A and B are shown apart, each in its own frame.
Chain A
Amino acid sequence: MAEATKTKTIKFIITRQDSPDSQSYEEEFEIPYRKNMNVISALMEIRRNPVNAKGEETAPVNWEMGCLEEVCGACSMVINGKPRQSCTALIDQLEQPVRLEPMNTFPVVRDLEVDRRRMFDSLKKVKAWTPIDGTHDLGPGERMAESRRQWAYELSKCMTCGVCLEACPNVNSNANFIGPAALSQVRLHNATPNGSLHKAERMAAVTGDGGLQNCGNSQNCVQSCPKGIPLTTSIAALNREATVQSFKSFFGSDHNQ
């Protein structure tokens, strides 16, 4: 701090990777400080003038972004050891040097950009949607109690950012666990009146390979989710549902879903 009298600067150590298969390496940057910067505006500054801390020209750092207000999840990366959204990571609140790394649970596309396709595949796999179209007009949906709607709204805040998968010790290259986010979406869609019509299908999908049962209760997800989604409560609730379903399907009659 003391020597930064003339122009205050911000130091970055960024983990870079030129292509999906190449080795990663670290590169340091030092950029002029401006008021109210976030990690994204700092990355934009590097892009404007792609010179590293040694003064060498380098390729601009690649990252992904969308909404810039923490609702799309695209800009997630590991900042000072924590996976979070870079658009809401304010420089003034970060310790320096600021370390940026990609979320390694996902395949790295380039530098800080990762491919979160497995999350979208998981949502498809567990049918995390509510069918509302048909060959004829299905009519309006049933009303929900306001208190229940408010509760469900919290679950619907998931932006598929991937932070919970990055934090989960059971989501890794040895395992095909779909991770907490998709599980919580199953609970959401099972809970709405229209969505509940397809509950049995979702439960079958979510107890399939790589599903619910892979949770090892480390509970890192609920501690890390930027949207405060009660992931472990969702998982335990689905566990209860799965227990009931398996009893029904084993001991029950031939039409219980």
Chain B
Amino acid sequence: MADNREFFYRRLHSLLGVIPIGLFLMQHLTVNFFSTYGPEAFNNAAGFMENLPLRLGLEIFVIYLPLLFHAIYGVFIAFTAEPNTIRYGFFRNWMFLVQRITGILTLIFIAWHVWETRLANAIYGTEINFDLMASILSDPIMFWFYIIGVVSAVFHFANGLWSFFVTWGLTISPKSQLVMTYITIAIFAVFTYMGISSLIAFAS
């Protein structure tokens, strides 16, 4: 382990992106989706999450620390690449580039989003509920910022899951990798739908 630190960091980066961050993302979007059933349903679902025991501990170890590592190391990975989609316009090469772009977009979005919700709650005691999201998203600029942020995050997760399967040697043959491409496209479609309809529900 001593001389292959880079190997360890890369694999950790890949693992954390799916477990726990990817799982958290799916759970978060599912809770948000309750907003389409009305403010009360959403407030109940969010309240359940808010009242989980050891919440701060869960947040730190399941969200903040993994996310920080994934983000910082990810930015390093993104900026050591020299994208060349102009010359090599293959599908996977585009995914490679978009993975890096959505990674950066998601980082900006999450930083803002955490500030506006969780940190505002911790510092100013802002209550996190349907009304808070409704007032944030009533601003069209914010609405579109959230749309871009959510779509980026879901893309980054779905395509990252595809890479995860290659990185850990789960999908080796081109055929299995292709099947995984379809599966991850489906995951992208489902969670994008859920994310966008939640945002629309908050805003309307």
Task: Give the residues from 158 to 216 in chain A that come closer than 8 angstroms, CB to CB, to chain B.
Answer: 167, 169-170, 172, 174-175, 204, 207-214, 216
A220 touches B169 (CB 8 A): no
CB distance from A154 to the nearest CB of B (A): 14
CB of B51 closer than 8 Å to a CB of A:
no
A208 touches B3 (CB 8 A): yes
Chain A residues bordering chain B, tally (CB within 8 A): 40
Note all chain B residues with C-beta closer than 8 A to A218: 88, 90, 92-93, 95-96
CB of B204 closer than 8 Å to a CB of A:
no
Nearest neighbor of A171 in chain B, beta-carbon distance: B82
Task: Give the residues from 219 to 234 in chain A that come closer than 8 angstroms, CB to CB, to chain B.
Answer: 219-220, 223-224, 230, 232-233
CB of A132 closer than 8 Å to a CB of B:
no
In the complex, which of the residues B7, B79, B84 has the most CB atoms of chain A within 10 Å of its own CB atom?
B7
CB distance from A173 to the nearest CB of B (A): 8
Note all chain B residues with C-beta closer than 8 A to A232: 166, 174, 177
- The docked-state distance in angstroms from the alpha carbon of A232 to that of B177 is 10
Note all chain B residues with C-beta closer than 8 A to A204: 3-4
CB distance from A31 to the nearest CB of B (A): 26
- The docked-state distance in angstroms from the alpha carbon of A171 to that of B11 is 19
CB of B167 closer than 8 Å to a CB of A:
yes
- The docked-state distance in angstroms from the alpha carbon of A197 to that of B144 is 58
Contact-size category for B: 20 to 34
In the complex, which of the residues B3, B84, B170, B173 has the most CB atoms of chain A within 10 Å of its own CB atom?
B84
> What are 28 of the A-B contact pairs (CB < 8 Å)?
A81-B87, A167-B88, A170-B82, A174-B79, A174-B80, A204-B4, A207-B4, A209-B3, A209-B6, A211-B4, A211-B6, A213-B6, A213-B11, A216-B77, A217-B92, A217-B96, A217-B167, A219-B92, A220-B88, A220-B90, A220-B93, A224-B88, A236-B166, A237-B169, A240-B169, A240-B172, A241-B169, A244-B169
Residue of B7, B81, B83, B174 touching A213 (CB-CB under 8 A): B7
Note all chain B residues with C-beta closer than 8 A to A230: 174
- The docked-state distance in angstroms from the alpha carbon of A8 to that of B174 is 45
- The docked-state distance in angstroms from the alpha carbon of A223 to that of B90 is 8
With A216-B96, A218-B96, A232-B174 in contact, do A169 and B84 touch (Cβ < 8 Å)?
Answer: yes
